[in-house]
Amino acid sequence: MECHHRHPLLTALESAHMSHEIAVIPGDGIGQEVTPAALEVLEALDLDFEFVTADAGDETAAETGEALPQETYALAASADATLFGAAGKTAADVILPLREAVDSFVNVRPARAYPGVDALRPETDLVFLRENTEGVYAGHEDRLSEDLSTLTRVVTDSASRQLGRFACEYVEDRGIESFTVAHKANVMRETDGRFRDAVVDVADGRGVETEEVLMDAFATHVCLDPTQFDVVVCPNLAGDVLSDLAAGLVGGLGLLPSANLGAERGLFEPVHGTAPDIAGEGVANPSAAILSGAMLLEFLGYDAEAESVQTATEAVLEAGPRTADLGGSATTDEVTAAIVDRL
Ligand code: NAI
Ligand code: MG
């Protein structure tokens, strides 16, 4: 099986399976249901992991006045990896600092259609490598007058090159010959021009081929024929929007995992939020959280275990039991138990 999310920077760790501390931050809503499910799967592997659970999110804010307590931030900043669920209204106050705590420069978002799941485009198999620190999400917004607000878009050569190096290692590691750079450098000539030039220059220097696509055209092409693309490198906002678009092609939010990677740490989380419409009912699809757990395993060098979790999850997606979002009537616990059984 091809795994689309191995962390190439950490190959050195692979032979050194030392003890790892894993921070577990379930957060709010279905985060409280799917994170324990992912934890159950990781625990079933019986690895030398020490799990430390910490609080964050709306409920924590209501109780303590802080959505992200200092202890939780410090835990994520020191743990080898963090498993995160979702936060509600306080999501931006929780997830943005947590990504910073793990020094994440790239958000890896695989969007893949699985056999047995009703998808708009069953042939979809994409991975977005999204710049994770700058662009229009750098936080420089101003109200200049009653009539005028502005946003400063930040693009650095260093962050763009770091993403470019990661993309090269990512494709080289998987035997893929090229990657796509999605941008809008025809309009944002300075910022996206810099982004594009830096990423392409890094790839040229390493002999990795790149194709460029304007991000608006990409949105159309990926809907019409997702097989044209494989690994797609994007600036921050484009990666956010285009990967959610791809989620729509593969059958929904209950399926999409993600990894926020830094050089030394990572934070792994489903792409979905707290799902207030179903929270507390025990019927959330745990697949996205469990597949995020598989990405965590791969990051720490447990490739065989990552593949087992991926394979077991895919087998249950195909054969059932399934949760309601996929047309079934199983509970989160039943799906989780079926995945653990197959491990
Ligand atoms: P959402 O992802 O929570 O839910 C969107 C729809 O997808 C809902 O109908 C929900 O039931 C369904 N859904 C999502 N995950 C599912 C799963 N695992 N199984 C079955 N169905 C699932 O997005 P929404 O409703 O826009 O946001 C709800 C809250 O989550 C908001 O407060 C938002 O701020 C927060 N949020 C947090 C994120 C994070 O912590 N990283 C990311 C996105 C939203
Ligand atoms: Mg998003």
Question: pLDDT tens, 198-215?
Answer: 999 999 999 999 999 999
Report how far residue 258's alpha carbon sits from residue 290's, in angstroms, rounded to the nearest whole number: 11
Average pLDDT over residues 323-343: 96
Ligand nearest to the CA of 253: 1
Q: 68 vs 254, which has greater pLDDT?
A: 68
129: number of Cβ within 10 Å: 26
Ligand nearest to the CA of 282: 1
- Residue 37 CA to ligand 1 center (angstroms) comes to 17
pLDDT higher than threshold 80 for residue 2: no
Q: 9 vs 152, which has greater pLDDT?
A: 152
Report how far residue 306's alpha carbon sits from residue 286's, in angstroms, rounded to the nearest whole number: 16
Q: Out of 173, 244, 303, 333, which one is annotated catalytic?
A: 244
The residue type at 170: Y
Q: Out of 73, 114, 137, 302, which one is annotated catalytic?
A: 137
321: number of Cβ within 10 Å: 16
- Residue 242 CA to ligand 2 center (angstroms) comes to 9
Say if strands 125-131 and 106-112 run parallel, antiparallel, or are unpaired: antiparallel
Q: Binning pLDDT at 50, 70 and 90, where does residue 252 land? A: confident
Q: Binning pLDDT at 50, 70 and 90, where does residue 138 land? A: confident
Does the annotation mark 80 as catalytic?
no
pLDDT higher than threshold 70 for residue 83: yes
Average confidence score pLDDT of the chain:
94
Report how far residue 228's alpha carbon sits from residue 133's, in angstroms, rounded to the nearest whole number: 28
Does the annotation mark 173 as catalytic?
no
pLDDT higher than threshold 50 for residue 327: yes
pLDDT higher than threshold 50 for residue 15: no
- Residue 244 CA to ligand 2 center (angstroms) comes to 6
Report how far residue 138's alpha carbon sits from residue 83's, in angstroms, rounded to the nearest whole number: 24
List own/partner pairs for 183-189 with CB under 8 A and 24 or more apart: 183/212, 183/213, 183/214, 183/215, 183/234, 183/235, 183/238, 184/214, 184/215, 184/216, 184/238, 186/214, 188/153
Q: Nearest Cα to 106, choosing from 31, 25, 26, 170?
A: 170
Does the annotation mark 89 as catalytic?
no
Minimum CA distance residue for ligand 1 atom 10: 275
Please list, residue by residue across 216-231, b when 16 or more beta carbons sit within 10 angstroms of its beta carbon and e when fewer do. Answer: eebbeebeeebeebbb
What confidence tens digit (pLDDT) does each residue in 259-311 have? 999 999 999 999 999 999 999 999 999 999 999 999 999 999 999 999 999 99
- Residue 173 CA to ligand 2 center (angstroms) comes to 27
In percent, how much of the chain has pLDDT > 90?
92
- Ligand 1 atom nearest to 278, measured from its CA: 11
Q: What pLDDT does residue 4 have? A: 46
Minimum CA distance residue for ligand 1 atom 27: 273
Does the annotation mark 216 as catalytic?
yes
User: What's the length of the chain?
Assistant: 343
Place of tokens 């999605």: 182
Q: What pLDDT does residue 17 have? A: 61
Which of 7-16, 133-142, 225-234 is predicted least confidently?
A: 7-16
CA atoms lying within 13 Å on the CB side of residue 285: 29
Q: Binning pLDDT at 50, 70 and 90, where does residue 126 land? A: very high
pLDDT higher than threshold 70 for residue 11: no
Does the annotation mark 184 as catalytic?
yes
- Residue 245 CA to ligand 2 center (angstroms) comes to 10
Residues with CB under 6 A from ligand 1: 30, 34, 86-89, 91, 95, 253-254, 269, 272-278, 284-285, 288, 323, 325
Q: Where are the alpha helices (DSSP H) in 215-262?
A: 215-224, 236-250
Average pLDDT over residues 99-125: 95
pLDDT higher than threshold 90 for residue 120: yes
* Helix (DSSP H) and strand (DSSP E) numbers for the chain: 11, 12
Average pLDDT over residues 39-61: 97
In percent, how much of the chain has pLDDT > 70?
95
Minimum CA distance residue for ligand 1 atom 36: 273
Q: Which residues pair with 20 in a beta bridge?
A: 49
- Ligand 1 atom nearest to 30, measured from its CA: 18
Q: What pLDDT does residue 179 have? A: 98
pTM, full prediction:
0.92
Which of 16-20, 57-61, 205-209, 257-261 is predicted least confidently?
A: 16-20
Q: What pLDDT does residue 16 have? A: 54
- Take residue 255 and report the two structure tokens written for it: 């399926």
Report how far residue 317's alpha carbon sits from residue 332's, in angstroms, rounded to the nearest whole number: 13
Q: Would you give the distance in Å from CA 227 to the centre of its chain?
A: 21
Pocket probe mutation, ligand 1, options 35, 267, 274, max atoms within 8 Å of Cβ: 274
| Furthest-apart CA atoms within the chain: distance in Å | 61
